[in-house]
Amino acid sequence: MKKYLSLIVLTSALVFSQLSFSQNRIEIDKAANAKTKELRKTVKFEQNKMRDVFKAYQAFETTYQKIDDNLDANKERLKKIKEILDNDLKQILSPEEYERYLSISREDS
């Protein structure tokens, strides 16, 4: 009986952690999708770049969500992930598009 109870508790914990991870992934994808669409409206980059821009924002959001609770203590890490996002977008966007992105992102900062 103890083995079954332990198995049920372990299985429940595993299911709960998977649900939590799935919910987190949904939030990350939702934020990345919104930022991709917003950037496309303002910078007006080509449709074929959307997937790459989404992936760049997805990587940013994954790390950002980890430090979001305490941004004051993670200023250096936040600066680093913003630099990585900028570099990723520089590789994806044309020079003109990237300049528009920079001017918009500086306004938001």
* pLDDT tens, residue by residue, 46-57: 999 999 999 999
The stretch 79-89 carries a mean pLDDT of 95
pLDDT at 19 over 80: no
Whether the Cβ atoms of residue 61 and residue 31 lie closer than 8 Å to each other: yes
Over the stretch 90-107, which tens digit does the pLDDT of each residue have? 999 999 999 999 998 877
- State the pLDDT at residue 108: 67
Classify residue 93 by its DSSP letter: S
Rounded CA separation 27/59 (Å):
13
Burial class (CB in 10 A: 0-12, 13-18, 19+), 61: buried
- State the pLDDT at residue 15: 61
Q: Name the band, by pLDDT with cuts 50, 70 and 90, for residue 68.
A: confident
Whether the Cβ atoms of residue 49 and residue 92 lie closer than 8 Å to each other: yes
- For residue 93, give every residue at least 6 positions away whose Cβ sits within 8 Å of its Cβ, in sequence order, or none: 43, 45, 49, 53, 101
